[in-house]
Structure formats: structure tokens, C-alpha cells
């Protein structure tokens, strides 16, 4: 089994993979971009993919919704990962000796409170394309006076010291990841799951009050709308696709709700029906 992810070994995507596929044998296919991740599934280099879709602090990763919709792939499940950022250095390093700190701009921003005093002392922050890639560079180039902000797994894989633990400003920082695959794997996977969540998208007629009608129907059937995200349709001014996540206790009632909203919509497609994910923490 091969699982594609964006980033290199030690990335938070890999931590999510380890959590969801715990106890199974697999190889990770590292991809530079999310576009490459979808290519890896389509050309057979990977059977599954782990993809970040939203963060509790910065919101949705909007391009990934379009990539998922256009790919024809399905959502098999999800993982909520508590994001902890650590300051990593070469063995024997100390914070006092650090002159530069590398990481993804978002990670640097998430650690602003910890980093502010270091900036005042002249430590330079360097934007990089990936947290784990920053850690690998510190290790492979043996940069004694440089550090990286990355995961505990990255520290372990690249033999780095953790100079400061959990330096993120907001401790309530979670990223939601989706597990993706083709239709055959999706159908086989569903057989062993307790289905209580779904992700879908729909298009509304350009008429007043249609979204309100849809939401009223879902309320009537006691379907919990946990997320709604609108994205403009390219080439069609002021028309939007709505991506929604639904939670439910009764699968039959959920299916009746979809039947009821069907006549109100111009288009609807289910991206996946799966078991609601649990929150994981890095070890």
C-alpha cells in the first residue's frame, strides 16, 4: 500500500498518516505540491492520499476543494491533528547560539509570541516551503547556528535536538486532514465503517431564498451542518458552489434529507460518506 502526501518525511501529513493507518504496512509517496499528490493517485504511484483541508486558526485551504472536486476521487475518512511546533537544532545547539530560524511562513506566524524576543536580539526568520524540509536542511547541511520550526517526528527522523517544545502561541491549533482514494477503494472501505458524516457540494439555482430552503430541510431532518464553504464558479459571475459537511446519527434519515433537497438544487455530488474522525496528538 502506498500513500501520497504533500511534503517530505516528518511533515504533519505523515503524522496524520501514521494515526489513520496505525498498525498497517505502507510506503509514503512524498509530493512537492497538492497537484502532484492527485497526479500520484491518478497515475498509480499511490493507492491513497492524505490531504490537509482546513485549519482551526486560518480556515479552509480553498484550492484543495477544487482539486478534490475535479479529481473524481472520494473521501474515505478524516483525521484531526493537534499541531505542535518545536524549535529544532543540531545536536549540542542552544537557543542562545541561533542566528537564523527556518520554517513555513504559517508556522513562523503561529509561533510569533515565542519568536518576538529572538527577533529583537537579531535572530533572522527565513521563510521556507515546508516545516519538515527546513528540519532536513538543518540536519543534512549541519547548520550549527541555524534552527527550524517543525514537528517532533521531524526531530526524530533528522536526528535534531528539540531546543524548545510547543512554541506555538495558540495551543488550540488543529488541522483537519482527508483520506482520499478511488471509487473501488472507497466502496470497500465503507463496508467496515460506521457512516455518520458526509462531505458534498451543490449548486443552487440563482433564485432568492434557495439556500435558506435547503438549510431548513436539513434542520427538519435533524442533520447537523458542521461546515459550509462557498467558492465562485470560474467563468460564471456571481454563481457559487457550496461545499458542506454533514453529521448524522441515522443514515436512512440522512438519505431522505438528500432526497428532499434534491429538487431545490441545480446539481449535487457526494464527495464521500465516512466515519467522523477523532483528534490525534503527535507522540
What pLDDT, on a 0 to 100 scale, did the predictor assign at position 209?
Answer: 84
From the CB of residue 145, how many other CB atoms can be counted at a distance below 10 Å? 12
Q: Which of 34, 131, 175, 248 is catalytic?
A: 175
What pLDDT, on a 0 to 100 scale, did the predictor assign at position 279?
Answer: 81
Q: DSSP characters for 100-155? A: EEEE-HHHHHHTHHHHHHHHHTTPEEEE-S-HHHHHHHHHHTT-TTEEEEE-HHHH
- What pLDDT, in 10s, does the model give residues 186-209? 999 988 789 999 999 999 987 788
Domain range for 151: 86-164
Is residue 148 in a domain? yes
Q: Which of 34, 38, 177, 202 is catalytic?
A: 177
Q: What are the residue ranges in the chain where pLDDT is below 50?
A: none
Is residue 259 in a domain? yes
Look up 177 and say whether it is catalytic: yes
What pLDDT, on a 0 to 100 scale, did the predictor assign at position 170?
Answer: 93
- Spatial separation of the C-alpha atoms in residues 142 and 9, rounded to whole Å: 18
Is residue 282 in a domain? no
What CATH number is attached to the domain comprising 151?
A: 3.40.190.10
Instruction: Name the domain count of the chain.
Output: 3
What pLDDT, on a 0 to 100 scale, did the predictor assign at position 272?
Answer: 97
Is residue 32 in a domain? yes
One domain for residues 31 and 69: yes
Look up 38 and say whether it is catalytic: no
Amino acid at each position: 500500500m502506498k500513500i501520497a502526501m504533500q511534503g517530505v518525511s516528518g511533515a504533519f501529513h505523515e503524522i496524520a498518516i501514521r494515526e489513520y493507518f496505525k498498525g498497517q504496512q505502507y510506503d509514503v509517496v512524498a509530493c512537492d505540491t497538492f497537484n502532484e499528490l492527485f497526479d500520484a493517485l491518478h497515475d498509480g504511484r499511490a493507492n491513497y492520499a492524505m490531504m490537509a483541508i482546513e485549519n482551526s486558526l486560518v480556515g479552509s485551504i480553498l484550492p484543495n476543494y477544487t482539486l478534490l472536486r475535479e479529481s473524481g476521487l472520494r473521501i474515505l475518512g478524516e483525521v484531526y491533528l493537534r499541531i505542535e511546533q518545536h524549535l529544532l537544532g543540531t545536536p549540542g545547539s542552544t537557543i542562545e547560539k541561533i542566528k537564523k530560524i527556518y520554517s513555513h511562513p504559517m508556522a513562523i506566524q503561529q509561533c510569533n509570541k515565542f519568536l518576538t524576543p529572538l527577533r529583537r536580539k537579531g535572530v533572522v526568520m527565513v521563510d521556507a516551503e515546508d516545516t519538515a524540509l527546513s528540519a532536513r536542511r538543518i540536519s543534512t547541511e549541519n547548520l550549527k547556528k541555524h534552527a527550524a520550526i517543525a514537528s517532533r517526528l521531524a526531530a526524530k527522523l533528522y536526528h535534531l535536538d528539540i531546543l524548545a517544545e510547543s512554541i506555538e502561541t495558540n495551543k488550540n491549533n488543529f488541522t483537519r486532514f482527508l483520506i482520499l482514494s478511488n471509487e473501488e477503494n472507497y466502496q470497500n472501505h465503507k463496508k467496515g465503517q460506521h457512516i455518520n458524516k458526509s462531505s458534498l457540494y451543490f449548486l443552487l439555482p440563482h433564485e432568492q431564498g434557495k439556500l435558506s430552503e435547503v438549510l431548513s430541510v436539513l434542520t427538519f431532518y435533524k442533520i447537523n451542518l458542521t461546515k459550509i464553504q462557498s467558492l465562485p464558479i470560474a467563468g460564471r459571475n456571481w454563481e457559487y458552489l457550496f461545499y458542506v459537511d454533514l453529521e448524522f446519527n441515522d443514515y436512512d434519515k440522512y438519505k431522505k434529507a438528500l432526497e428532499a433537497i434534491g429538487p431545490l438544487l441545480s446539481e449535487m455530488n457526494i464527495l464521500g460518506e465516512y466515519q467522523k474522525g477523532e483528534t490525534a496528538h503527535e507522540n
